[in-house]
Amino acid sequence: MPDHDLSEAQVAALLDYLHAGGPAIDEQHRLRLAAEATPLDVQQGRKLFLGETRLTGGALACVFCHQLPKETLLGGSLAPDLSGAYTRYLDWALDQRLRRPCVPGGAEQAARVAETESLALRAFLRSVSATPSSR
């Protein structure tokens, strides 16, 4: 084995990382970006937003509290307009917001949306809020 400047603790951590799957596991947990979404993902996101398809976690559809004026005349007024949400938060922060409960202090629950639902909703919000240069 070649010489290295790693401490025993660093070598042990590296071996543990490789034993746990290393880079292959990291790639599985990489957040897919909305820019990588397919048109079907965008369509699924629209259905999830409007409540045409139920969220697997049982949460209410976004449209009950939020609105997208350009997309539909429907929408609640309890929460902010989401027409600029994607450009404001982008993928990572928007994914974090989608996964946590909407109502602060609500009952503790698992993630509000599944990973595929997060991608679909982010892709849909990107499609309605993207500027021509970011599409």
The candidate with the shortest Cα–Cα distance to 114, out of 56, 35, 58, is 56
Q: Range of 98's domain?
A: 32-134
- Same domain, residue pair 46 and 103: yes
Q: What is the pLDDT of residue 31?
A: 87
Query: Which pTM value belongs to this model?
Result: 0.70
CATH number of the domain bearing residue 122:
1.10.760.10
- Same domain, residue pair 53 and 9: no
- Same domain, residue pair 41 and 22: no
Residue by residue, DSSP assigns 73-127 as S-B-SSS---TTHHHHHHHHHHHHHHHS-SSTT----S-SS-HHHHHHHHHHHHH
- Same domain, residue pair 26 and 38: no
Q: What is the pLDDT of residue 48?
A: 95
Domain count, the chain: 2
- Same domain, residue pair 21 and 57: no
- Same domain, residue pair 53 and 107: yes
* pLDDT band at 109; cut points 50, 70, 90: low
Taking residue 107's Cβ as centre, other Cβ atoms within 10 Å add up to 6
